[in-house]
Chain A
Amino acid sequence: MFKENIKLRLTATFLICFLFFLQLNAQRWDVPADKKSKNSYIKFDGNTAKEGEAIFTKNCKSCHGDLGKSNGIKTMNPAPPDLSQALTQELTDGELFYILNTGRNAMPSFKNTLSEEERWKAISFIRSFNNKYVQVLSKTDPTKSKLVKINCVFDSLSNKLKLNIIANEKTGVIPLKDAEVSLFVTRYFGKLQIEKTIRTNADGIAIFNFPKDLPGDKTGNVDVAIKVSDELYGEIESVNKFNIGIPTDKLGLTQNRAIWNILKKAPWWIIITYTSIVLTVGAFLLYIIFSLLKIRKLGEN
């Protein structure tokens, strides 16, 4: 009886530990091997950490808090960890980069809000809290991205945007094969992605269907941002104006008379009400003053 009881307890304890372990494991990140081994082409030093700190303060601190102080938001589930913790520092640079790119749960993806350079600098800042860290630099040459050229043609009949991405190497023109391409239109507050991210074919070509109902500026111009990400050539971004939107000319919020506008553009009803009240009360006051003067005059005789 007694022995059995112990067995039962032991099994239960093991089971609980196992579940706990699973649970912990579930919280770690499952990063594909090729992404895991990715490294930064920027050398991490005091300067990059400093720039990274500014990026961190602006984009990450509101959730993660200050590094080393464990003062992130506690009410989220899972809670954003203090990134100076050992568990995070054990991750490779590639894994951190992947986490920043994809996000998970409440952790947002920063792929489209921060440039690759900014993302690496943020990581540089996170690494500056780990004195055991030794950086492995990436072999990619950042200057290589300068060789890349993006040609785009818009076909107004089919409403398709065709991109041809090539690199002008000394040895000749090489199409960028299998490079990630994303298309965005700039708007107030960030960018709007058009379709999904796709990859170029063997000829370096990627084709996007452009929506027909996208509002443009007065003349229908739209700023289109093309973002290319290639293993060898790194990240390339180019912004072009295309006349492919619907011309829109809406009055700005401050163009008409409104409560929130400047004094000169106050609504008529307020101007009329306010001034008539002020004038009426003022007139009565003047009348009283006038009466007082009359009293004085009457007393003189």
Chain B
Amino acid sequence: MLDQSKFDKITSDLLKPIRINHSFMVWMGFLGVSLIVCLYAYSVQLDKGMVVTGLRDYVSWGMYISNFVFFVATSLIGMLISAVLGLSGEKWASPLARIAEIIALAFAAVAGLVIISDMGRPERLINVFLYGRIQSPILWDVTVVTFYVLISALFLYVPLIPDLKICYDKMNQLPAYKRNIYKVLSLNWIGSPEQIKIIKQSTRILAILIIPVALAIHTVTSWLFASTTRVGWDSSIFGPYFVTGAFVSGSAAVIIAMFFYRNNFKLQDYITEKHFDKMGKLLVLVSLIYLYFTLNEYMVPGYKMKKFDAMHIHALFTGTHALLFWSVQIFGLVLPIVLLLFKKMRKPLPMLVVALFVICGAWLKRYIIVIPTQEHPFLPIQNVPMNFKIYTPSLTESLISLAPIILVLIIITILSKVVPIIPVHETIEHLEETK
């Protein structure tokens, strides 16, 4: 028999972070000001046109598109942790499910905005819906991203319903209108067996549904590249290559979030060292798979060295992009794998550092996939200004690329200030089951 006081402690521990404190205001103020600076940069782009970026005729997909791929990639982690691990009965992952879902939702929702930053005439976005051709991967991408955002939102919301009721019950210090929002959102939850049954069933359906949709979203994103004949993109393994790469950056994002939640929200009892240890192993696993695909992606064309492949591969291996290429492979992939094999490294702080390297590497990796090949088109570049031949992102462009990242942080911060980021209801249920 577990005593009521234990339940009360769990509830109050997990609900405690839901309040607006000083550090929250400072952090949000910082994010807000940074966002305004970036939005100013965007207004410059709207006014002057895409010429304020480093994009020109040959390299027409630059930082924005690599940013987009990174965002879609990172959002995939929701599917891996909440759905795949959840369905396969990995109980250790369930306290992390909501964190993963929040990250997934934030990144997926903002990914759509990232694409708009790449448009000189954003008001023409409507034409995709009016005149889109279903033969085009662009339209498939718009479709799956929309679906993924919807499913992620539901996947976050449905298991949250019992917790919303708990919030409504326990947080009587809140102003009435705020409590009422909880009340409305908790859909008259009383915890009756029928209600529990429906929630269980819906969660299960969503968990199964999100797997193919998540695979689709990143596979289609990879097809935006792979359905062309361009060297470096024209690859039949681009789908799985992107998906596994996505798990790497997503896992890193979850580890970073875990670290900050654990420390700032005092959740040491709920996000334990065991969770870090498991996440470290998961990161090693997905990184190894990704390394395997990376090897295939460069080894096969690198062995044959067909004329145009060779130009591209030389630029990456020994040419202008070599420094970036090797740093990404070594510091973003190989070293993290090696380090995390040691148990001592799978502790919160070392893992935070490793995860930061991995996530920066993941961003730069997208840059390497998207940009260098465009500097070597099949037809030779002739009689053009220097900045057409070599792409250098401008400051304005970099600021605009930063905006979505800030936006994601804002969304994650706000969400974790209004809902318990560790499922309260499930934690209690879990305790009851194992007692």
Binding site for B on A (CB under 8 A): 61-62, 65-66, 71, 73, 259-263, 266-267, 270-271, 274, 278, 281, 284-285, 287-288, 291-292, 294-300
Contacts and interface: CB of A to CB of B under 8 A. Distances in A.
Interface stretch (B127-135, B237-245, B298-306): B127-135
B224 interface: no
- Per DSSP, chain B at the interface is helix
A84 to B, nearest CB: 16
Given A262-B133, A266-B133, A281-B147, A295 B188 contact: yes
Contact of A288 (B143, B189, B205, B383): B205
Nearest to B133: A263
6 contacts: A274-B134, A281-B209, A287-B205, A292-B158, A296-B188, A299-B188
Contacts of A65: 383
A299 B195 contact: yes
Contacts of A262: 133
Contacts of B135: 259-261, 263, 266-267, 270
Contact of B194 (A261, A281, A298): A298
B383 A62 contact: yes
Contacts of B190: 298-299
The secondary structure that dominates the A interface is: helix
Contacts of A260: 135
Nearest to A264: B133
Interface string B123-158: 000000001111100001001000100110010001
A271 to B, nearest CB: 7
Contacts of B147: 281, 285
Contact of B154 (A285, A295, A299): A285
A263 B198 contact: no
A20 B162 CA distance: 92
The 9 closest A-B pairs by CB, nearest first: A299-B188, A296-B187, A263-B133, A259-B135, A291-B202, A274-B134, A295-B187, A296-B188, A299-B190
A296 B143 CA distance: 30
A292 B185 CA distance: 10
Contacts of B199: 295
Given A288-B154, A292-B158, A278 B201 contact: no
B38 interface: no
Interface residues of B, number: 30
Contacts of A61: 383
Contact of A263 (B134, B140, B150, B192): B134
A274 B140 contact: yes
Contacts of A291: 198, 201-202
Contact of B189 (A73, A263, A274, A295): A295
B382 interface: yes
A263 B158 contact: no
B195 A295 contact: yes
A52 B132 CA distance: 42
A300 B202 CA distance: 20
A285 B134 contact: no
B80 to A, nearest CB: 19
A299 B187 contact: yes
B161 interface: yes
A291 B200 CA distance: 11
Contact of B161 (A271, A278, A295): A295
B195 A298 contact: yes
B213 A281 contact: yes
B206 A288 contact: yes
A96 to B, nearest CB: 22
Given A295-B187, A298-B188, A284 B205 contact: yes
A142 to B, nearest CB: 34
A73 B194 CA distance: 78
A283 B151 CA distance: 12
A290 to B, nearest CB: 10
Contacts of B158: 288, 292
